[in-house]
Amino acid sequence: MHDTYVHRYDASESTRLRDQAGTLEDLLHGDTCFPAGSEVLEAGCGVGAQTVALARRSPDARITCVDIAASSLREAEARALAAGLDGVRFHRADLCALPFAEASFDHAFVCFVLEHLPRPDLALAELRRVLRPGGSLTVIEGDHESALFHPDDDAARAAIRCLMDLQRATGGDACIGRRLYPLLREADLRDVSVSPRLVYVDASRPALVEGFIRRTFIAMIAGVKTAAIMAGLTDAPTFDAGIRALHRTTATDGVFCYTFFKAVGRRT
């Protein structure tokens, strides 16, 4: 999965992931708090965009983060230290072959990770394996087809489709959010509960216009321009027209919606 990550491993991508985490933190993580002393695994922590939010909400949990990319892990560790979180442990590991014994963790957490995996079922089986009976798994994913905007625009849709197609070409699924319920059930997790988190943005919410539409969503789509052109999915003028149309939704009469899905299941 390291070589096929559709978003780029560079500084602007790290900035985007951090901005996204800041804007969406309450919406996505506000109801996640792991008990004091519990062993928590964050699998696929990347640059640590979610790690600080996770650790701040569970200050006395024992958090272990793994990712397959060493460069991301170093950045995640630096971020955690900068935030004063010196108790978080970082290990390089493949999510589908975790270096932990069965039932090592009370809780596991994955955010924006399954969307990139050719076999999310194998990752879920592995996460279930390292959970103790009764332990919980929390998964958060987006679904790019949930993007609704006004003014609607074909070029904007086509630009979003480029990202979805690139992700599919590497075995991922940018629309995995809606599938969390069956994925967790098929992984033999029980009491699966899914709650969608809809981000709604209009001109009355300027922080979200900037933090979500521009710095999160458009930045994410714009980030695949070169890859999309190289893959023959678009050309520069067409793609740029799509990005302009997405920016048009940030005007005073524009609207933008996107839905994340959060699922929690339990190992019996």
Residue 38: CB minimum distance to its own copies, A: 25
Tell me whether residue 60 or residue 186 sits nearer to its own copies (CB atom).
Answer: 186
144 binds its own copies (CB under 8 A): no
CB pairs under 8 A, 24+ apart, for 204-213?
A: 207/23, 208/23, 209/250, 209/256, 211/19, 211/22, 211/23, 212/20, 212/23, 212/24, 212/256, 212/258, 213/246, 213/249, 213/250, 213/256
Residue 178: CB minimum distance to its own copies, A: 5
Tell me whether residue 192 or residue 213 sits nearer to its own copies (CB atom).
Answer: 192
Q: Which tokens in the block code for residue 109? A: 């957490």
Contacting range for its own copies; rule: CB under 8 A; set: 37-45, 81-89, 124-132, 175-183:
175-183
CB 130 within 8 A of CB 234: no
42 binds its own copies (CB under 8 A): no
Shortest CA distance to 180 belongs to which of 146, 140, 145, 147?
Answer: 140
Among 82, 97, 185, 207, binds its own copies (CB under 8 A): 185
* Triad 28, 41, 174: Cα angle to 5°: 50
CB 101 within 8 A of CB 41: no
31 binds its own copies (CB under 8 A): no
Among 150, 244, 247, 248, binds its own copies (CB under 8 A): 150
Q: In 10 A of CB 18, how many CB atoms?
A: 18
Among 202, 212, 234, 250, binds its own copies (CB under 8 A): 202
Residue 14: CB minimum distance to its own copies, A: 30
Amino acid letter for position 72: S
Tell me whether residue 3 or residue 252 sits nearer to its own copies (CB atom).
Answer: 252
Shortest CA distance to 250 belongs to which of 211, 197, 198?
Answer: 211
Q: Which tokens in the block code for residue 230? A: 């190289």
Q: Tell me 34's DSSP state.
A: P
198 binds its own copies (CB under 8 A): yes
Among 146, 227, 247, 248, binds its own copies (CB under 8 A): 146
Contacting range for its own copies; rule: CB under 8 A; set: 59-67, 149-157, 207-215, 224-232:
149-157
Write out the residues near its own copies by the rule CB under 8 A: 143, 145-146, 148-150, 152, 175, 178-179, 181-182, 185-186, 192-196, 198, 200, 202-204, 252-255, 257, 259
